[in-house]
Amino acid sequence: MIIATEIINQPYSGQYEERVYDIESPWNSQLWTWVKFIMDNGTEWVGNFRGEPHGVAISNKFNSCIVLTSDYLFLLDLKNGELIESDRNHTFTYLTTSPFGDYIIIDFYKIEKITDGLNNIIKIESPIEMDIIEVKGWNGNLLEFSCVELGVYDKEYFMQFDSETEEIKKITIHNNT
């Protein structure tokens, strides 16, 4: 079973057992992501994924792992690394797992939760229409980030997504003028 992951630079040939996760499409980029997987028995292997690296997250709750690249979302089985499903990535830039094991995925405008497979994504409602989301990180159950209101760029908001209540709250406002 996969217990840890790490985005790495392209390894030397033969350094690791390698698995290629490629989806044939004329719209694929020429970029690749390499992720090192560490198994519970101590073995390591590397997956090659189409697209520039954006993130990787493990969820024991769903017994799966998601790799996010500029081209695709790849959902893998945590037991053996087999591809469960993939979906074209159009805008997502950040992926994390909440303290409760839920996948949280973010683009420039919204925060969403992947609930059961890549085709079941729920948008988390926000008190403002967000733009230019920049994630700061987790503080307990709170995912902290900054953003501006769509179309109103003179104020920057410091916001928190509470993974327990699944609510987004405005914390502070900073004038950019």
Count of CA atoms in the C-beta half-sphere (13 A) of 52? 7
**Residue boundaries of the structural domains of the chain:** 2-123, 125-177
Please tell me the distance from the alpha carbon of residue 67 to that of residue 92, in angstroms, as a whole number. 12
Closest CA to 54 of 90, 93, 88: 93
Per-residue confidence (pLDDT) for residue 173, from 0 to 100: 83
| Per-block mean pLDDT, blocks of 10 residues, the chain (177 long) | 96 94 91 97 96 96 96 96 92 94 94 89 94 95 94 91 94 78
Q: What is the pTM of this model?
A: 0.92
Instruction: Check residue 115 and give its pLDDT.
Output: 83
CATH 2.40.10 assigned to 2-123: no
Q: What is the pLDDT of residue 177?
A: 62
Q: Which two tokens stand for residue 1?
A: 């079973």
